Each structure stands twice: as C-alpha cells, then as structure tokens.
Amino acid sequence: MKYNIKKLAFDFPITRIKFSPDDKILAIACQDMIYIWDMEKQGYKHLFRCSSNVSSIEFSKDIKLLASGSIDGKIYIWELATDTLQKVLNLCQGGIWEICFSPDGKKIIYSDAEIDENNAKIASCENNIWIWDLMQNKCIKKFTKHHNGESIRRIAFFSERNIVAVAYGSLRYKSIVLWNINTEERLFTLQHQPDYTWVQGISFNGEGTKLAAGYSYGGHGGIRIWDISDTPGNEKCLAFFDEEESIVQISFSKNGLYIASTGGYHYNYIQVWDAIQKKCIAKIHGRKYGTALLVDINSIGDKMASVGYEFKRPLLYACYKILILLFPSIRWFINVIKEIVYFRREFRIKDFKESEIQFKTHCVLKICFLKNR
C-alpha cells in the first residue's frame, strides 16, 4: 500500500487525538491546549485552551460540539461553529479518563480516574461511570457495578447502544466485559488468550456490532475482533492477528473494515490491518529510535493520525552508540558529567537500558494518507 505522510512537531506531549465523524477535522490535545486541524485545507483552524492538561476529547455526532476532559476533573464543552466555550462542568476531584456524547448530544457519559500529568491512570482509583444531563445540568445516573473489585485498564463507550466495554487487568480476572449502562446488565464477556494478558486498547466499529481489542504481554502482542451483534452471551471471535511484538494502542474505523495499531520494538511503527481479509496491509516505520504511542483512524480508513516521539539528533545519537561500542569504558565519563549536562538544552540524560544517553526528543504527529488499498 502506498501512503503520504505529513509531520507536525510539538514541543510538549500530545495526550489525545480524534477525527471528527465527517473526517474533516482532527482534534489534537497537547497539554492544556486543543488544536483543531483542518484536514481539507491542511492547516490549523482554531486553538482551545483549558485550565489543566487534557486527558480526553470527543465530538458530538452532529459535529456541533467538542467535549474535553481534564486531569483536574473539569469537562469543557466547545461550540465548533463559533469556536467558543459553551460550558464548563466541574465534576470530580480526580481526572476525566474517558468521555462521549449521547446520540442526541444532550447528555455526556464519562468515567473518572486519578490521572497524573503524563495522562497515565493510577490503577487504585474506582473509575465510576456517570451520565450528565447538559440540559438539566445535573447527574442523572452513576454506574458502579462494573468495578468487581478489580483493576481496570481500559474503558470504551458506545452511546448509541448504551454500552460500556471494560478491560480488566488483574492476575485472576483477565477479560473484557460489556455492560449496559442503563440496566447495569452484563452483556458479553470476552476472554483473553492466556499469553496475551494486558489489554492495551479497545475500540468499537461505527455500528457498535464489533469490538477490536489489542493485547500485549512479554514483548508479544495480538489483535482480536469480536462480533457482539447477537444476543448477550453469544459473542464470537471473528479474527485474531498474532504479532511478534507489543501492541500499544488500536483504533477501529467506523466502517469496520480497517484497524490501525501502534507497536513494535521501541514502539516505532504503525500498522494497518484489513479486518475482512484478516491481514496486515501497511506497515509504516518511524525512526529507529523513535516511538509511536497514540493512533486514530478515520471513518472509512483512508486517513490515519499517530503520535510518537523522535530524537531531534538521530545522527548524533548514532555516533554516540558507535563510540560506546568501540570504547566501552567511555560510560564512566558519562556518569561523571551527568549532573553537568542534565539541564543543558541540547541533551537529556536518563537512566534506562544500561544507562544509555538519550538525546532530546520532540513530539511528532503524523497524518498518513493511505492509497491503493
């Protein structure tokens, strides 16, 4: 498959990316800012600013509103036509982990969590699910039955069917359970393969009849596609893609034909999977020492956005690696000068994997235009 890539560099971490339902704009959450990127004109359309780091973003179905959740427990409702802030909801003391609109855009479903500044969830929190009525400006339901006293790794909503998918990650309870938020009924239980313990991502197709789940364990990974269109308890596994390397995150296209995933050694590539033919149709490599952590694919699967980190000076880094290989004793010199150069602009030293020196990175957003599928 052929593809074109457009790169956008950011000095600060990007925490979320999301295509609008009509694929015309891309929302990019970067610290306490949300950039609106016009996919047709290939330029920035607007910038929204929040009070703290943005942890989740979601468009309404009619694309009139954009909701953003922050790590300080606030939800911002933005009106896209006028680029104005419509409402701020101060909802919880923790952070907003996931968020979505109801089909009519009059309600918001969200889950709370303790979230650190790097948008990482703290596993000890409860993760309640709430339904907030925007017209009445009050909470109309609190859903707690999904806890089961277990650690929760991922949550995904599909509001049209009032379904929440919860991926559990404890040692004795490894599965994905789908719940009806209104009736609090357990609908489906999707068991993991024993070797693929940790769920790294879950994503619905546009009709809510299929669920894709990405797994990772011990440097290996895989993707499963589940059919959840039948009556509760009659779920079926439609496909399983085995990967020799870890899966970091996945995104299911709305038409249910394509899945985008990030993964690989050092998480340095993105893959596009054909969900019908059950095979990988594109593998987009990043820099050797880069990473790819976030991914989102548009509704028809011809555009994809990914976020990762790349070294600003890969050639300099390669020279350093050669020196280490030729002169192993140079490591003691690095330890001596570590405190001296730590705050310099050009380098950042970090202890990991044999105390290697890691040159300063920048956050890179890649927008891929896929062709000849």
Phi, psi of 297 (to 5 degrees): -115, 145
Round to whole Å and give the CA distance between 67 and 59. 6
- Sequential DSSP letters for 207-250: TSSEEEEEEEETTEEEEEEEE--SSTT--EEEEEEEESS-EEEE
Using 50, 70 and 90 to split pLDDT, how confident is the model at 39? very high
Query: What distance lies between CA 27 and its chain's CA centroid?
Result: 13
Using 50, 70 and 90 to split pLDDT, how confident is the model at 343? very low
Select from 70, 77, 110, 76 the least CA-distant residue to 94.
70
Phi, psi of 322 (to 5 degrees): -65, -40
Work out the burial of residue 297: count CB atoms within 10 Å of its CB; fewer than 13 is exposed, 13-18 middle, 19 or more buried. buried
Place of tokens 């895989």: 222
Side-chain half-sphere exposure of 183, counting CA atoms within 13 A: 9
Q: What CATH code would you report for 1-144?
A: 2.130.10.10
| 11: Cβ contacts below 8 Å, ≥ 6 apart | 362, 363
Strand partners, 225: 212, 239
Give the rounded percent of residues in the chain with a pLDDT score beyond 70.
74
Q: How many CB atoms lie within 10 A of CB 210?
A: 19
- Sequential DSSP letters for 284-310: EE--TT-EEEEEEE-TTSSEEEEEEEE
Give 118-159 pLDDT, tens digit per residue: 555 544 455 678 889 999 988 888 887 666 666 677 888 998
Using 50, 70 and 90 to split pLDDT, how confident is the model at 366? confident
pLDDT in the model for residue 192: 63
Give the residue extent of every domain in the chain.
1-144
Give 184-233 pLDDT, tens digit per residue: 888 888 876 555 567 888 999 999 999 999 887 766 778 889 999 888 87
Of 140-144, 256-260, 263-267, give the lowest mean pLDDT range: 263-267
What is the spatial order of strands in the sheet that 95-101 belongs to? 95-101, 107-113, 129-133, 138-143
What is the spatial order of strands in the sheet that 175-180 belongs to? 152-158, 163-168, 175-180, 185-191
The amino acid occupying position 325 is L
| Rg, C-alpha atoms of the chain | 21
pLDDT in the model for residue 143: 80
Select from 18, 14, 19 the least CA-distant residue to 32.
14
H or E segment and range at residue 336: helix 331-341
Contact 140, 108 (CB under 8 A): no
Four-residue CA torsion sign, 197, 184, 204, 366: negative
Place of tokens 């509760």: 232
| 183: Cβ contacts below 8 Å, ≥ 6 apart | none
Q: Is the pLDDT of residue 68 over 90?
A: yes
pLDDT in the model for residue 356: 36
Measured between its terminal Cα atoms, the distance across the chain in Å is 6
Q: How many CB atoms lie within 10 A of CB 344?
A: 10
